[in-house]
Amino acid sequence: MTSVSYLRKKRKDIDNIVIVYPFTYVNPYFALPPIGAEYLQAGITETGREALLLDMRYEKDITRHLEKADLVCLYGYFEDCSIFGKWKVHIIPQIIDQIPSDIPIIAGGTGFSNTKEAFKSYPRLDLIIRSNPEIPIQELLNGKNLGDIKNLAYRSHGEVIYTERIIHALPENVYPRRNLRNPKYNYHMMGIKTDLIRAGVGCNYKCKFCYEYGKDFDGKYRRWQGRSAQSLFNEIKEIDAPIIAWVDDDMTTSMKTLGELADLLIESRIHKLFAGTGRIDHVNKSNPETLKKLEKAGLIAIGFGVESLRNKTLQFYGKGQTVEHIEKAMRLMQKTNILLICNFIFGSPGETEQDMLNMLWFGRKWNVDTLVTNRLRVPKDSPMYDFIYDPETGKVKPGMERIRGDELAKIKYKVKFAQRTPFRILLSLLKLYRHQGMFIDPLYLFCCTLETVTKHTWLEKTKIFPLSLKITKKIVVFPVVRQALRFMAIILTPPLKAINWIFELIDKHLQISTNLLPKFLLYIKDGMYKKQCVRAQVQYTGEVKK
């Protein structure tokens, strides 16, 4: 059976296609575009058809679009890993109930990874795409035999049929077309227009703690493969947002490609600020000049998965790096003005409170701008579970004891928040003024951040505070002001570093920041952020989602 005839069992022609991103969780601080759904849209447009993409974070009633559709696709991922736990905040059943019975339904992405459960939960589903969607959707709409299209699961005579799983090479010319977006969809990060780019998929490593990155829907690892520098450059030219975030599992796998992309951006004088996550070993093996070139091209921040400062734990994780490798990468990063983000995992077997607090002292020693503190998650169906727990009794194996619960949370907050002292924030701001690729004034970005995080709070109601931010933003856009601030940043950095060194030396003994900052920032989080989340949900969806 051809794919078109399969879909036409319900509909004569497949011309009017509607894609729905069905997740409704709204983060008041940033909202990133549903790039997975946009790749599906890009694949459809390659066949000469048009596809309307509806983002349910910004839509309320889409009934009229569903009634006119010949095919409806429910598709999308959470592009921000910090809200993986929010994926159940969706309206998938409500959308399906609104789709007329004669319209076929295709699904994929977050919420449809367990195909058996998805078909059971949603009997109306006809087909699930079990991989990146751009190639399967083209083959479906172009009429290829259904059984010959890879990475599908579909219903046939009451049974679910699975086609062969493969990893398609990433297309060089099929990527999201930003001109197709609804202009009312406000994709931003801290108030600054932001976009996403996918330069590669997969990961060549098998860290035991990893349950999302580098894996496909069936849990199997996908080896990394990426696009060329020219392909990435062509896409970036079509992006009007000043900030671009890489959604790759590892943006540094090919430092050579990044270097070539930097050359193209510098030569063409295209100004963008971009950020992503990478691996320490890739940076260590690259030419040191590549990092400087990337800074000039606009690499504003890079995050590394440090995970632990104990070689024993790193070996247990199968991370493929040592503490010596970590420190080598830190030394390389000190030669740049790129913001440095280090990710750690808390609650590993045998790890003490002091081991975790050492992560804070590490961050201060190496001038890390942000410390990300993640709990070690051990799902029952994960390889990590078998290492830590006895599969028969469910009890912790000897030597696998670890700190958990509220005790772990307190340690996490100490490390996470104690790094964010006023001195450290100022040093990061001064670093951005020295950054070779900054074309937006750092103080302007800082003001946008403050505007976002204080929205609907008593500070905004003072009128004076928001007005002062607006005035500052208008002043710093003048080139002469920016040059003066940059010169001041160069002058002020050495004395501020000295003051900060003295403060942190005293702080390590008196524990000022580890006691006060967690309490203050948790108060801000509970008193402001949670209220803003509720307000954002009501504003965009009319519902309160927890």
- Is 400 a member of any domain? yes
Residue 302 CB partners (closer than 8 Å, separation 6+):
251, 252, 275, 276, 277, 278, 333, 338, 339, 340, 341
- Is 180 a member of any domain? no
In this structure, the answer to whether residues 268 and 391 fall within a common structural domain is yes
In this structure, the answer to whether residues 157 and 191 fall within a common structural domain is no
- Is 424 a member of any domain? no
In this structure, the answer to whether residues 278 and 140 fall within a common structural domain is no
* pLDDT at residue 540, rounded to an integer: 66
In this structure, the answer to whether residues 399 and 447 fall within a common structural domain is no
Q: CA 98, 102, 103, 104 torsion: positive or negative?
A: positive
Report angle CA 484, 488, 493 to the nearest 5 degrees.
155
* pLDDT at residue 546, rounded to an integer: 46
In this structure, the answer to whether residues 414 and 451 fall within a common structural domain is no
- Is 179 a member of any domain? no
Q: Identity (one letter) of the amino acid at 372?
A: V
In this structure, the answer to whether residues 54 and 116 fall within a common structural domain is yes
pTM: 0.89
* pLDDT at residue 213, rounded to an integer: 47
- Is 27 a member of any domain? yes
Contact in structure between 177 and 53 (CB atoms under 8 Å):
no
Question: Structure tokens of 89?
Answer: 């905040």
Range of the domain at 134: 3-162
Q: What are the strands, taking DSSP E only, across 7-123? A: 16-21, 30-31, 50-55, 71-76, 105-109
Residue 92 CB partners (closer than 8 Å, separation 6+):
22, 74, 111, 122
In this structure, the answer to whether residues 275 and 141 fall within a common structural domain is no
Which of 127, 162, 197 corresponds to the end of one domain?
162
In this structure, the answer to whether residues 401 and 450 fall within a common structural domain is no
In this structure, the answer to whether residues 201 and 337 fall within a common structural domain is yes
Whole-angstrom distance, CA of residue 418 vs CA of residue 364: 10
Print pLDDT tens along the chain (546 aa).
566 666 666 656 788 999 999 988 888 888 899 999 999 999 999 999 999 999 998 998 899 999 889 999 999 887 665 555 666 778 899 999 999 988 999 999 888 888 888 999 999 999 999 888 999 999 999 989 888 999 999 988 888 899 988 878 789 999 999 999 999 999 999 999 999 999 988 778 878 777 554 445 455 566 788 999 999 999 999 999 999 999 888 899 999 999 999 999 999 999 999 999 999 999 999 888 999 999 999 999 999 999 999 999 999 888 889 999 999 999 999 999 999 999 999 999 989 999 999 999 999 999 999 999 988 888 777 778 888 888 778 888 888 899 999 999 999 999 999 999 999 999 999 999 999 999 999 999 999 999 998 888 888 889 899 999 999 999 999 999 999 999 999 999 999 999 999 999 999 889 889 998 988 888 887 777 778 877 777 776 665 454
Whole-angstrom distance, CA of residue 40 vs CA of residue 273: 26
In this structure, the answer to whether residues 145 and 195 fall within a common structural domain is no
